[in-house]
């Protein structure tokens, strides 16, 4: 049982490392920093906390997947806000942000 939990946590951690190594991380930060509505709600942007909202199977199949969903907590000067980020591959092989919404 402990081994299963350790493997799951390792896969979740690897998903976060993988996400930060793609161009999606820069796209998300740029979109949030430029969003004036978001800036009015949270104040000055201070960073992210990532929580992969995907299953173990999705993490294993990530290179072949068309889209993945992540939940991030945007840390602001005033408040923290959770957002659902859907990333995917379209015409190009690079991962791109397909949608972002507050949850």
Confidence tier at 91 by pLDDT (50, 70, 90) = low
Domain boundaries in the chain?
2-102
Structure tokens given for 19: 């996400």
pTM score, two decimals? Answer: 0.66
Q: Do residues 18 and 34 make contact, with C-beta atoms less than 8 angstroms apart?
A: no
**Residue 75 pairs with which residues in a beta bridge?**
47, 80
Do 102 and 83 form a contact (C-beta atoms < 8 A)?
yes
Each residue of 2-38: pLDDT tens digit? 887 787 777 777 767 777 777 777 888 888 888 888 8
pLDDT of res. 53: 57
Half-sphere exposure of 57 (CA within 13 A, CB side): 0
- Two structure tokens written together for 78: 């005033």
Alpha carbons 37 and 62: distance in angstroms, whole number: 32
pLDDT digits (tens, 9 = 90+) for 40-51: 888 888 887 766
The stretches of the chain forming alpha helices (DSSP H) are 2-21, 24-34, 36-42, 56-60
């Amino acid at each position: 049982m402990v081994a299963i939990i350790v493997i799951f946590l390792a896969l979740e951690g690897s998903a976060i490392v993988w996400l930060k190594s793609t161009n999606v991380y820069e796209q998300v930060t740029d979109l949030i920093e430029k969003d004036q509505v978001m800036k009015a709600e949270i104040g000055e942007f201070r960073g992210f906390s990532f929580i992969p909202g995907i299953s173990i199977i999705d993490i294993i199949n990530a290179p072949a997947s068309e889209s993945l969903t992540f939940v991030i907590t945007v840390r602001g000067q005033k408040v923290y806000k959770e957002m659902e980020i859907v990333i995917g591959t379209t015409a190009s092989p690079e991962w791109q942000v397909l949608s972002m919404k507050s949850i």
